[in-house]
């Protein structure tokens, strides 16, 4: 198949190049429209209980999470500075887009204790809280949050100091800072990559070929991502993976194809013959590599959050189109260039790969003592992986922002000065029959909630229940006491439905909040209708569950897909198993290092300062693992292809591994270093999750391209000997029928 494709490229060179540039112009001219369709959220599970609860309490009771949570710090106290604070609040809620009916504050709603700070000045609470709601959605809500932050955050008249926080400003800052940081990182990484390409390819002309592949892959992927965005939500952050992968795989595939083309020219082949031979060998490798990476990234579609699904769409598209371009336009242009591919030579000596060199010597050294090398390397990777045993996982929040961020400062001020999570209640929706159930039945159930640790207040349609600490020393349980009748019953009953609000004293995204949500859900409900537990804490629980519950499906997909593709490629049963196990070792070491740095807060000089959270962002970690797994398989295929080629020619294991490593290691390490430069540039970001993603991927691919490919692969293949290529007779016959052969 690949040889036939090579002959087609040789016969239809001009047509292929014309089609490439026409399609490139068409895709680039229309694909840019995807940027107007991209979304900035997508971390929550839309089918979860918390999402259904949010929809129910919003539609039935008009209850929503505040867009902005503002804290007004007063110089003399909340009552002494009431006039100035009230005037400021009135200006804020009068802003276009703010829902004045549902927005509330300490000064406008009866001065409740829950909306004033526990810290004092002149014997009074020093700060009051303002909860600002809106009916706006999407980008309109984001722009309102930005406007409120721009106009009111910071010093105000009469000595007041305003802190603008809440999910609106936090999300807005995360998005805008991430976009700016990534643009800045790319502005540094791309010029560095271009400079490095000159040395990697050895000539000016050859160094430009990766951009042919990258341009075609990125333009086509953006076009089809735009089509997908018409049917479903797409995350804005997926575009950064798309462009990074487009450039990275452009480098990978161009290096592989150009090096093989140079080999064939060195052997005396003319450009036509060299293209056909390159397609038969390197083209086959590119196809298998791209298929493996695309299938790996496609596994992210198992997660319900569109943030994750977007990376599956974007990543798979750009990989597939990188393969198409590398197997059509690239060999066509190489045929046109012929020996001129080496024009503008920058390095001394022959640019074609040699059969002798330091990689060959390293492989021979390892295979002379395979067991000691394997054990020492295994112990080293195990030591690096050890911190992962104590890993703690969380979701991204304001702490991912730099400490200088206005939203981060607002969140820190609110946490330090207010005892309750008044802005983030656990909202419980009681379905049909909730409003008809007796006050005593719901009250007894609500009282059971009030006795749980960290509950401060429970409001039912009839009563407000106070939660007070137990008299027993050391007890975390609380006692339920009636505070009074619910004066806002209309906000808690709608037809036959009712709701209950639970105020806590712990951060909404914490283990304590998660345990409380689980405990509430475990209670026997007071009604026969649907009971939904929602609120920010429940969203956190469900978002984490969406990852952990679907992670086994992802792992099974990655394992099976990799085993099948590599079996069809090699005809071996053991080599695919070895590849998966080595990837697991590499990823385990990466997770351990990330835990040590980002959770343990060690070696921070490597990544720069960030807010300590004693946890790791779950979504970012999954992305690191999947991207690193895909790229590791990319390099595994590069290496196995050359080893298998020598083995098929009759070489023994030692010779085929040494020659295969010598001919592929330079490509693998060069490609890994160049791609690591792109991802490592993300470390300059002020957003902790972007730092983690950049450092994690860069570290993983460098570790895999050096330690794993140069030490573990030769050692294991030497230990397995002739068994490397073994397969049971039925599978061997199957490979003869449907395997990927030259």
Tell me the pLDDT tens digit for each residue of 285-318. Answer: 999 999 999 999 999 999 999 989 999 999 999 9
* Stretch 372-386: mean pLDDT: 95
pLDDT winner (highest mean) among 238-247, 325-334, 609-618: 325-334
Cα–Cα distance between 90 and 197 in angstroms, integer?
59
Q: Are 434 and 525 in contact (CB under 8 A)?
A: no
Residue 526, pLDDT score: 82
pLDDT at 467 > cutoff 90: no
Cα–Cα distance between 144 and 165 in angstroms, integer?
13
Task: Find where tokens 């007070």 sit.
Answer: 468
Which residues, at least 6 apart from 467, have a Cβ–Cβ distance to it below 8 Å? 450, 451, 455, 456, 457, 458, 478, 479, 480, 481
Give the relative orientation of helices 306-326 and 238-266 as an angle to the nearest 10 degrees: 20
Q: Is residue 151 assigned to a domain?
A: yes
The CATH number for 149's domain is 3.30.70
**How would you class 724 by CB atoms within 10 Å of its CB: exposed for 0-12, middle for 13-18, buried for 19 or more?**
buried
Q: Is residue 129 assigned to a domain?
A: yes
Percentage of the chain exceeding pLDDT 70? 96
Q: Are 487 and 49 in contact (CB under 8 A)?
A: no
Sheet strands (E) in 324-430 = 393-394, 426-430
Written as six digits, the tokens of 336 are 């046109």
Q: How confident is the model at residue 44 (pLDDT cuts 50, 70, 90)?
A: confident
Instruction: Give how far the C-alpha of residue 47 lies from the chain's centroid of Cα atoms, to the nearest Å.
Output: 20
Cα–Cα distance between 544 and 525 in angstroms, integer?
24
Residue 180, pLDDT score: 82
Cα–Cα distance between 490 and 498 in angstroms, integer?
10
Q: Is residue 414 assigned to a domain?
A: no
Residue 684, pLDDT score: 87
Q: Are 106 and 74 in contact (CB under 8 A)?
A: no
* Nearest to 640, CA basis, from 375, 274, 267, 289: 289
pLDDT digits (tens, 9 = 90+) for 656-698: 988 888 888 878 888 888 888 888 888 888 888 889 988 999 9
Residue 131, pLDDT score: 94
Written as six digits, the tokens of 255 are 């290096």
Domain count, the chain: 1
* Stretch 459-475: mean pLDDT: 81
pLDDT digits (tens, 9 = 90+) for 334-353: 999 998 888 887 766 665 56
Residue 117, pLDDT score: 94
Residue 295, pLDDT score: 93
pLDDT digits (tens, 9 = 90+) for 692-718: 988 999 999 999 988 998 899 999 999
Beta bridge partners of 68: 132
Cα–Cα distance between 560 and 519 in angstroms, integer?
37
Going from the C-alpha of 79 to that of each of 84, 92, 118, the distances in angstroms are 10, 19, 14
SS3 345: strand
Q: Is residue 88 assigned to a domain?
A: yes
Query: Which residues constitute the domain of residue 91?
Result: 67-165
Residue 270, pLDDT score: 92
pLDDT at 32 > cutoff 80: yes
Q: Is residue 188 assigned to a domain?
A: no
Strand 393-394 to strand 426-430: parallel, antiparallel, or no bridges (unpaired)? unpaired
Cα–Cα distance between 711 and 365 in angstroms, integer?
10
Q: Is residue 79 assigned to a domain?
A: yes
Q: Is residue 86 assigned to a domain?
A: yes
More reliable by pLDDT, 68 or 443: 68
pLDDT at 42 > cutoff 90: no
Q: Are 352 and 265 in contact (CB under 8 A)?
A: yes
pLDDT at 436 > cutoff 60: no
Q: Are 421 and 508 in contact (CB under 8 A)?
A: yes
Residue 34, pLDDT score: 87
Residue 182, pLDDT score: 76
pLDDT digits (tens, 9 = 90+) for 78-129: 999 999 999 999 999 999 999 988 889 999 988 888 899 999 999 999 999 9
**How would you class 213 by CB atoms within 10 Å of its CB: exposed for 0-12, middle for 13-18, buried for 19 or more?**
buried
Residue 189, pLDDT score: 78
pLDDT at 636 > cutoff 60: yes
pLDDT at 736 > cutoff 90: no
Using left for φ > 0, alpha for ψ between -120 and 50, and beta otherwise, residue 603 falls in: left
Q: Is residue 158 assigned to a domain?
A: yes
Using left for φ > 0, alpha for ψ between -120 and 50, and beta otherwise, residue 494 falls in: beta
Q: What are phi and psi of 540, to 5 degrees?
A: -60, -45
Residue 140, pLDDT score: 85
SS3 646: helix
* Stretch 51-64: mean pLDDT: 88
Name the DSSP class of 70.
E
Residue 227, pLDDT score: 95
Residue 515, pLDDT score: 93
Cα–Cα distance between 594 and 580 in angstroms, integer?
21
Kindly report the pTM of this predicted structure. Answer: 0.87
Q: What are phi and psi of 386, to 5 degrees?
A: -55, -45
* Nearest to 461, CA basis, from 479, 427, 426, 487: 487
């Amino acid at each position: 198949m690949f040889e036939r494709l090579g002959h087609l490229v040789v016969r239809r060179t001009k047509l292929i190049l014309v089609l490439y540039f026409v399609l490139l112009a068409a895709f680039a001219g229309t694909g840019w429209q995807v940027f107007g369709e991209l979304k900035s959220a997508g971390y929550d599970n839309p089918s979860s209980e918390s999402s259904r609860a949010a929809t129910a309490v919003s539609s039935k009771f008009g209850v929503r999470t505040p867009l902005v949570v503002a804290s007004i710090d007063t110089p003399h106290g909340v009552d002494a500075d009431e006039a100035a604070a009230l005037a400021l609040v009135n200006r804020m809620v009068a802003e276009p887009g703010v829902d004045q009916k549902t927005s509330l504050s300490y000064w406008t709603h009866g001065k409740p204790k829950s909306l004033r700070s526990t810290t004092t000045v002149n014997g009074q609470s020093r700060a009051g809280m303002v909860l600002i709601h809106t009916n706006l959605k999407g980008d309109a809500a984001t722009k309102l949050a930005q406007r409120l932050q721009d106009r009111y955050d910071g010093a105000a008249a009469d000595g007041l100091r305003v802190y603008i926080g809440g999910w609106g400003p936090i999300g807005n800052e995360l998005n805008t800072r991430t976009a700016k940081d990534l643009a800045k990182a790319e502005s540094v990484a791309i010029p560095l990559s271009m400079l490095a390409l000159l040395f990697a390819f050895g000539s000016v002309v050859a160094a430009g070929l990766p951009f042919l592949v990258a341009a075609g892959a990125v333009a086509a992927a953006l076009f089809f991502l735009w089509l997908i965005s018409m049917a479903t939500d797409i995350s804005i952050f997926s575009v950064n993976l798309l462009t990074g992968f487009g450039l990275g795989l452009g480098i990978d595939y161009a290096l592989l194809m150009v090096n093989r083309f140079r080999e064939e020219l060195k052997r005396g082949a003319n450009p036509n013959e060299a293209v056909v031979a390159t397609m038969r060998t390197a083209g086959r490798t590119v196809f298998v590599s791209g298929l493996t990476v695309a299938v790996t990234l496609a596994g992210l579609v198992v997660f319900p959050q569109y943030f994750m699904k977007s990376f599956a769409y974007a990543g798979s598209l750009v990989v597939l189109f990188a393969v198409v371009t590398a197997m059509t336009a690239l060999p066509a242009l190489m045929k046109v260039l012929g020996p001129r591919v080496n024009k503008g030579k920058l390095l001394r000596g022959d640019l074609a790969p040699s059969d002798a060199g330091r990689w060959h010597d390293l492989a021979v050294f390892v295979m002379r003592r395979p067991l000691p090398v394997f054990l020492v390397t295994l112990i080293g990777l195990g030591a690096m992986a050890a911190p992962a045993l104590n890993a703690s996982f969380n979701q991204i929040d304001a702490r991912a922002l730099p400490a200088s961020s206005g939203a981060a400062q607002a969140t820190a001020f609110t946490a330090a000065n207010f005892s309750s999570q008044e802005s983030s209640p656990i909202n419980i929706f009681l379905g049909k029959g909730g409003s008809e159930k007796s006050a005593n039945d719901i009250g007894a159930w609500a009282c059971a909630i009030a006795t749980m640790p960290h509950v401060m207040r429970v409001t039912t349609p009839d009563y407000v229940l106070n939660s007070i600490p137990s008299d027993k020393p050391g007890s975390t349980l609380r006692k339920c006491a009636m505070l009074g009748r619910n004066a806002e019953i209309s906000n808690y009953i709608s037809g036959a439905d009712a709701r209950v609000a639970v105020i806590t004293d712990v951060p909404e995204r914490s283990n304590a909040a998660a345990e409380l949500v689980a405990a509430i859900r475990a209670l026997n409900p007071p009604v026969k209708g649907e009971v939904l537990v929602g609120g920010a804490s429940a969203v956190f629980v469900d978002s984490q569950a969406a990852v952990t519950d679907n992670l086994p499906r992802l792992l099974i997909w990655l394992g099976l897909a990799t085993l099948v593709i590599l079996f069809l490629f090699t005809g071996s049963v053991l080599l695919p198993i070895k590849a998966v196990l080595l990837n697991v070792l590499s990823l385990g070491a990466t997770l351990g290092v990330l835990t040590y740095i980002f959770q343990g807060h060690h070696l921070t000089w490597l990544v720069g300062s960030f807010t300590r959270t004693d946890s790791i962002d779950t979504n970012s970690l999954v992305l690191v693992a999947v991207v690193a797994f895909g790229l590791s398989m990319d390099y595994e295929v590069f290496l196995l292809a050359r080893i298998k080629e020598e083995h098929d020619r009759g070489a023994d294991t030692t010779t085929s591994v040494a020659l295969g490593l010598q001919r592929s290691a330079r490509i693998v390490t060069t490609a890994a270093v160049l791609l690591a430069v792109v991802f490592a540039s993300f470390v300059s970001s002020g957003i902790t999750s972007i730092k983690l993603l950049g450092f994690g991927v860069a570290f993983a691919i460098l570790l895999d391209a050096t330690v794993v490919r140069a030490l573990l692969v030769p050692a294991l293949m030497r230990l397995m000997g002739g068994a490397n290529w073994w397969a049971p007779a039925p599978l061997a016959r199957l490979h003869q029928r449907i395997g990927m052969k030259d």
